[in-house]
Each structure stands twice: as structure tokens, then as C-alpha cells.
Amino acid sequence: MSEATLECRELSKYFGPNAALHNVNISLPAGKIIGLLGPNGSGKSTLIKLACGLLTPTDGEILVCGFEPGIESKALVSYLPERTYLPDWMTVLDCLKYFQDFYADFDYARAISMLQALSVPANARMKTLSKGTKEKVQLVLVMSRRARLYLLDEPIGGVDPAARDYILGTILRNYCEDSTVLISTHLIADVEKILDEFIFLQSGQIVSYASTDSLRADLGKSIDEYFREVFRC
Amino acid sequence: MAWQFSSDRPIYIQVSDQIVSGILTGTYKMGERLPSVREFAVIAAVNPNTVQRALSELESVGLVETQRNTGKFVTQEGSVIEMARNKRGELLASEFLKSMAALGYSCEQTISLLTEAGRREVLANERSDA
């Protein structure tokens, strides 16, 4: 498996005259946890949506394990959206069965044990759950797949600091070692310890792609400090 | 509780320092099996590759040994642990001297302060024993 898990070649996405992404070239290896970091509106979610085929590129191409977004790539990608899309009337167990129907790599037993660990009531209907609990359900569904590429769009945005630690722990415990995890967030201080590498996006372009520990070794700075410096308002 | 890290040094070095502390203070005992890479990653809330790198560093100095198929163990060589203890002790001592120098104490003044503090400590212990 020499090919990159996620590869972008001269990738651009325009919304009318506005460039959400402009000429992005990057190749992400397998087996890494990578932070996709940038200020609001820098193109983080656009990049993730292009990778799961929810948007189509204006120019250039994006490949997941060599496949253009489509049936083959979707079987390999596990996507955590910014907002949950699970229907209100479903119970948590319904959602699990729904995922099991859709994805061959879904591990039902693992999902059940994660729900228990996060003390999510399995028989409750989605509409009765709090926002944070809904996000936990969505995370359990996404991390219960044995995917090659996990795309997590703001996985810790809506939950309290204690749940944040738990969610990061859940990601660490459950991702497959030879798969790639791409986490978009602006809560850098909370995630940077678990990142191998980070990408800085600004106005739709990559300004930096480096390893977390090499940044510390070379500049003596955390990603959080470096981010504040690069993106000073 | 996740481990705390300072922002100025690579995380893998700080992880390996904390594992060494664990070995020196007896959290991880001589010859005992260490948590797996994934377990360490969850305990410390860091990336598994970072833990792997930290453990390889400790393996290269002989503090940690890999036994095939069964995981990583703390060394059974007392002398290696003793060496790590001396190294850590020397480091703490020289850092302490530096902080005292920053406050304006000479080396000799610091030593006499330490001697005095040591004497008081002994007295306090004797009193609590009695």
C-alpha cells in the first residue's frame, strides 16, 4: 500500500466567485492522526466534504486510497459531520442497526460497548437526548467502523471539557492503527497532544504541514502557540 | 487525569521522562510488564506513535526491554535503573542550583541552606517518631 490515504492534486473549490479552497496539494500517509487547523472560514469543512463526496471539486482532484469519491471510497471513509443528521424518531439502537446495514466494516459489538462506556441509554429516542449525548452517539457510530480514513469535523466542539477528554480517549482507543484520522478543530490546545501531524489552512490554502514534535524540537513551541502567532488578528 | 506537558519540548521526550519517573518511583517495578502502547496512549492522552517513540528511546538506553509477543517490560538490571536515578538526581540538583543562582545565592550559600534544611528535616522526623 504505497498510495496515500488522502491525496489532493491542485484541488480547488469555488462557491460562485469565492474560493473556499485554492490549489491545494497534499498527500496524507496511513497510520497518522492529523489535525486540520485553521481560523473560521479557512476551508476545513470544505476539504472534508470534498473527501467524502458531499461536494465536487471545481478544479483538480481528490483521491481516497486511490479512488475518486464514490461507492468505493465511501466504503473506506468514516465521516463525523459538524451537525448530526440522525432522525429524531430513531432510538439509539435503531441508529446502530442503520449503520450496520449501510457499512460492511461496522462493528456492532464494539458500538454497544462504547455506548455503555459513555453511559448513553441505548433504547432512548434521539429526540430525547441532549446535544452532547447526540454527538456522543454520532461519534460512537463513526468510530465503530473499521475504516481506512476517519474524517472528524469538530468532534469536540459541542461538549464539556471532561467529555472532551473522554472523546479523545475514545478516538485513541478505537481507531485502526493503519488508518488515518483527520480531525478538524479550532480547539487546538485540547487535541494537539494526540496529533502526529498538523495542517494549517488559511483562506483556502495550506500554509503549513508539519509534524507536531518537529515543531516543538525546531521552534520550542506548541501548535497552539504557533497558531496564535501565524493567525494573529 | 491526563499527563501534563510543557509546550517547549517534544512530547515524546516528555512522555519518556514521565515513564522514567514512573520506573524510579516504583509505579512501574523492575522486571514488570509495562502497559501496552495503546494503553499508555490512553493514560497519557497522547498519540500512540508518540508513545512508541518514547518507548524506543527507553529501549535504546536499556531501561525497557521487549519480550517477543508479550510486550514491553521494565529492565531487570538494577544497575541501569541506578544509572537513570543518578542522571535524574544530577539534573534536579543542577536545576536547583540554577534557580538559586537566579535568586542571587552563591553555590556555597545554597549548600549551607540545604544542609540546614536537612538538619531540620531530621529533627522533625525524630519528633514525629517519638
Instruction: Report residue B93: phi and psi, to 5°.
Output: -60, -45
Looking at residue A87, the DSSP 8-state letter turns out to be: -
- Mean predicted confidence (pLDDT) in B6-22: 91
**Residues of chain A with pLDDT > 90: what percent?**
65
Tens of pLDDT, residue by residue over B25-82, are 999 999 999 999 989 998 898 999 999 999 999 999 999 999 887 889 999 999 999 9
Which range of residues forms the domain containing residue A206? 6-230
Strand stretches in A118-204, DSSP E: 149-153, 180-185, 197-202
Cite the DSSP H helix spans in chain B: 11-25, 37-44, 48-60, 78-102, 107-129
* Closest residue in chain A to residue B54, using alpha carbons only: A213
The x, y and z cell numbers of residue A112, run together, are: 454497544
Using DSSP bridges, classify how beta strands A6-15 and A59-64 pair: parallel, antiparallel or unpaired.
Answer: antiparallel
**Any chain A CB within 8 A of the CB of B4?**
no
Predicted local confidence at residue B127, as pLDDT:
84
SS3 A62: strand
Q: Which of A169, A213, A225 sits opposite B10 (nearest CB)?
A: A213
Predicted local confidence at residue B1, as pLDDT:
53
The angle, 0 to 180 degrees and rounded to 10, between the axes of the packed helices A131-143 and A108-117 is 150
Across the A:B interface, residue pairs with CB atoms under 8 Å apart total: 57
In the sheet with A18-28, reading across from the earlier edge strand, the strands are A18-28, A6-15, A59-64
d(CA A84, CA B51): 33
**Any chain A CB within 8 A of the CB of B11?**
yes
Asked if pLDDT for residue A97 goes beyond 90, the answer is: yes
Min Cα distance A221 → chain B (Å) is 5
Asked if pLDDT for residue A1 goes beyond 70, the answer is: no
Instruction: Report residue A122: phi and psi, to 5°.
Output: -70, -25
* Closest residue in chain B to residue A181, using alpha carbons only: B47
d(CA A25, CA B37): 33
Residues B4, B14 contacting (CB under 8 angstroms): no
* A214 chain-B contacts, CB cut-off 8 A: 10
Look-up: residue for cell 519518556? Answer: B16
* A193 chain-B contacts, CB cut-off 8 A: 2, 5, 11, 44-47, 50
Q: Which of A165, A213, A221 sits opposite B11 (nearest CB)?
A: A213
Min Cα distance B39 → chain A (Å) is 8
SS3 A16: coil
A1 in a structural domain: no
CATH of residue A102's domain is 3.40.50.300
Residues A127, A88 contacting (CB under 8 angstroms): yes
**Any chain A CB within 8 A of the CB of B34?**
no
* B12 chain-A contacts, CB cut-off 8 A: 213
Q: Which of B10, B42, B53 sits opposite A173 (nearest CB)?
A: B42
- Mean predicted confidence (pLDDT) in A131-137: 88
The x, y and z cell numbers of residue A103, run together, are: 457499512
* B57 chain-A contacts, CB cut-off 8 A: none
Min Cα distance A174 → chain B (Å) is 10
Q: Which of A193, A217, A224 sits opposite B46 (nearest CB)?
A: A193
| pLDDT band at residue A72 using 50, 70 and 90 as cut-offs | very high
User: A193 and B47 in contact by Cβ < 8 A?
Assistant: yes
Predicted local confidence at residue B12, as pLDDT:
93
User: A172 and B41 in contact by Cβ < 8 A?
Assistant: yes
Per the structure, the count of domains in chain A is 1
**Residues in CB range of A141: below 8 A, 6 or more apart:** A95, A96, A99, A111
Asked if pLDDT for residue A159 goes beyond 60, the answer is: yes
Asked if pLDDT for residue A131 goes beyond 70, the answer is: yes
Instruction: Report residue A110: phi and psi, to 5°.
Output: -65, -40
A153 in a structural domain: yes
A98 in a structural domain: yes
A31 in a structural domain: yes
Residues B76, B31 contacting (CB under 8 angstroms): yes
Predicted local confidence at residue A190, as pLDDT:
87
Predicted local confidence at residue A102, as pLDDT:
93
Min Cα distance A87 → chain B (Å) is 32
A221 in a structural domain: yes
Tens of pLDDT, residue by residue over B89-99, are 999 999 999 99
A216 in a structural domain: yes
- Mean predicted confidence (pLDDT) in A4-28: 94
Q: Is the ipTM of this complex over 0.85?
A: no
SS3 A145: strand
Tens of pLDDT, residue by residue over A160-218, are 787 788 888 888 888 877 899 999 998 888 898 899 999 999 999 999 999 998 888 89
Predicted local confidence at residue A186, as pLDDT:
84
CA-based nearest residue to A192, from A147, A162, A156, A163: A156
d(CA B77, CA B83): 10
Residues A64, A149 contacting (CB under 8 angstroms): yes
User: B38 and A195 in contact by Cβ < 8 A?
Assistant: no
Q: Residue A159 carries which side chain, given as an amino acid letter?
A: V
User: B11 and A193 in contact by Cβ < 8 A?
Assistant: yes
Residues A94, A121 contacting (CB under 8 angstroms): no
